Amino acid sequence: MRINALSLKALGISQKVEETGLTFQENATLKATEYYSISNIPTLADDSGLIVDALKGAPGIRSARYAGENATDQQNRDKLLYEMTNIPLHMRKAAFVCAIAVIVLPNKIKVFQGRVNGSIASGETGAMGFGYDSIFIPNDEQRTMAQLTDLEKIKISHRGIALRKTSNWLRNSRILEEG
């Protein structure tokens, strides 16, 4: 089975969906539902972010806006590192989480989640990646996500895991053939 993916831009959709959910799964579902209602074609949407145990799950669903609505990645990292200043290394557990919602038919929604556990570094290292990659060290790694090659990263990343689950479901189900 071959699936051709189209971006919102390719479909002429410029509308943004307000992320009012309380979880990554809820926000992914909100976006998929809205874009499906506009496009009327099978739709995939995601939401992802960083959760830090010592910060009671923050930045969480506000990861992209942690330091404010128009904050840059650098500002978000700076705020997080500042808040972690007095947290010992052994208490810096964190995880990247990605939820992907797929809608093939109305009221037929499936959500897949990917997660990579790790910890927050005491400072930034690495130039690859974006967001919080330069301060996140995956478990069983000495390097930050920003130091990994793209191939290494996709094998362990939260998005890679969620996308593989989504792809496997689409490949193994007959859901697309039913519609």
Going by pLDDT thresholds of 50, 70 and 90, the confidence category of residue 179 is very low
- Does 178 score more than 60 pLDDT? no
Instruction: Report pLDDT for 175.
Output: 61
Q: How confident is the model at residue 176 (pLDDT cuts 50, 70, 90)?
A: low
The model's confidence at residue 127, banded by pLDDT at 50, 70 and 90, is confident
pLDDT (tens digit per residue) in 48-93: 999 999 999 999 999 999 999 999 999 999 999 999 999 998 999 9
- pTM of the prediction? 0.90
What does the block give as tokens for 166?
């989504």
Mean per-residue pLDDT of the chain: 92
* Domain boundary assignment for the chain: 24-178
d(CA 27, CA 12): 22
Per residue in 9-54, pLDDT (tens digit) is 998 899 999 999 999 999 999 999 999 999 999 999 999 999 999 9
* DSSP strand pairing (108-120 vs 43-52): unpaired
Catalytic member of 46, 47, 78, 140:
47
47 included as an active-site residue: yes
**∠ Cα 64 70 75 (to 5°):** 65
- The 3-class secondary structure across 127-143, one letter per residue, is CCCCCCHHHEEECCCCC
- Fold designation for 24-178: Maf protein (3.90.950)
172: confidence class by pLDDT, cuts 50, 70, 90? confident
Helix (H) or strand (E) holding 51: strand 43-52
Q: pLDDT tier at 136 (50, 70, 90 boundaries)?
A: very high
Residue with tokens 């926000």: 27
Percent residues over pLDDT 90 in the chain: 78
Residue 29 phi, psi dihedral angles, 5° rounding = -65, -40
